[in-house]
Amino acid sequence: MPIDAKKLRTAIESINDLPTLPSVVTQIMGRLGNPSTNAADIGRLIEQDQALSGKVLRLVNSAYYGFPKQIKSVRHAVVILGFNKIRTSIMTASVFETFKKETAGGLDIKRFWQHSLGAALASKATAEAFGAVQLAEDAFIGGLLHDIGKIVMDQFQPAIFGPIVKFAAERKLLITEVEAKVMSGFNHAAVGSWLIEKWRLPNEVVRMVAGHHAPHRYSEERELVAFVHIGDILARALGVGSGGDNCMPAFDPAVTASFRLDRDFLDRCVERVILEIGRAGEFFSLLSS
């Protein structure tokens, strides 16, 4: 029997313990969008949370960023990295903590976040390969959060999502293919976008999450949605973690046509992704901390 989207959204949004971002992260994200904000302002906010401060410093001193000298203060980190990269570090450090409890509907949470982080790195690498360096950090966040609706469904609607994951595994189908049969025109991407709206993250993040399986439907933030779509598929192709199924989706034909995804270009993207993953050990280690 098809599931009604409006009823499910109402049910999810009425959950009292639906995860929220830490208040300091919400404040930081808001301030980063304000042109009058300076590095000292952001540094002071991060320093209010000792655990977040420690994780941010751990990330910025990792091989991923490759600074020759140790960065000892959060404020120095903000100055050196800039707002876009510090936003990436904060989001990565906080989102794993927000959803750290075990899932109930069949997802392997560690492998799920490995896939999400792999997709984040791949989305960023894809943006850079296309020469859209200014969009790379936004693409990273879109890739990191692209499947977050699966965690919401798995933790809070396991009676619905558990059978979907099981059926997909048994029939060797994509989770989205099974969702299309039982969820009446919406899927985990829509559920994830509801959560991103609730978190009051920027509209481009909402669209990247909502559109990562069907970028042809999104004219706004067209490039970002496409980068996350490609990044998700590249992470799957490289076997980084698991999004809950072990199938390979096809590239959206509109993306293939618009972005000229030929074999040589995809090979170059894969090389970039492998390099990014190799440098991002500290990001992956946060999953176990």
Q: Does the residue 5 lie in any domain? A: no
User: What local confidence, expressed as pLDDT, does residue 289 receive?
Assistant: 66
Report yes or no: 13 and 194 within 8 Å, Cβ to Cβ: yes
Residue 262 and residue 139 share a domain: yes
**Is position 211 within any domain?**
yes
Asked which of 98, 119, 149 is the last residue of a domain, the reply is 98
CB 244 within 8 A of CB 107: yes
79 and 147 share a domain?
Answer: no
Residues 49 and 164 in one domain: no
How many structural domains are present in the chain?
2
Inside any domain, residue 200:
yes
**pLDDT per position as a tens digit, 119-141:** 999 999 999 999 999 999 999 99
* H-type alpha helices, the chain: 5-13, 23-32, 39-47, 50-60, 74-81, 83-98, 109-129, 136-145, 148-156, 158-171, 175-182, 188-198, 203-211, 222-237, 253-259, 263-279, 281-285
Note whether 171 and 46 are same-domain residues. no
Q: Are residues 93 and 118 in the same domain?
A: no
Tens digit of each residue's pLDDT (9 = 90 or more) over 198-257: 898 999 999 999 999 999 988 878 999 999 999 999 999 999 999 999 899 999 999 998
* CA distance linking residue 125 with residue 147, whole number of Å: 18
Tell me, yes or no, whether 185 and 232 share the same domain: yes
Claim to verify: residue 148 and residue 220 sit in the same structural domain: yes
Q: Is position 43 within any domain?
A: yes
pLDDT recorded at residue 100:
65
Residue finishing a domain among 61, 81, 98 = 98
Q: Are residues 179 and 112 in the same domain?
A: yes
Is the residue at 203 inside a domain? yes
- Residue 66 CB coordination number (10 Å): 8
Q: Which of 98, 123, 150 is the last residue of a domain?
A: 98
- pLDDT at residue number 203: 92
Q: Are residues 31 and 49 in the same domain?
A: yes
The range of the structural domain enclosing residue 31 comes to: 22-98
Give domain status of residue 168, yes or no: yes
Residue 2: its pLDDT value, please?
A: 65
- 80 close to 67: Cβ distance less than 8 angstroms: yes
What was the pLDDT predicted at 141? Answer: 96
Residues 154 and 272 in one domain: yes
Q: Across the chain, what does the average pLDDT equal?
A: 89
Q: Are both 240 and 113 inside the same structural domain? A: yes
> Which residues of the chain are modeled with pLDDT < 50?
none
Asked if residue 7 belongs to a domain, the reply is no
CATH number at residue 178: 1.10.3210.10
Q: Do 141 and 268 sit in the same domain of this protein?
A: yes
Q: What is the pLDDT of residue 118?
A: 96
Full-model pTM: 0.93
Task: Evaluate whether residue 6 is within a structural domain.
Answer: no
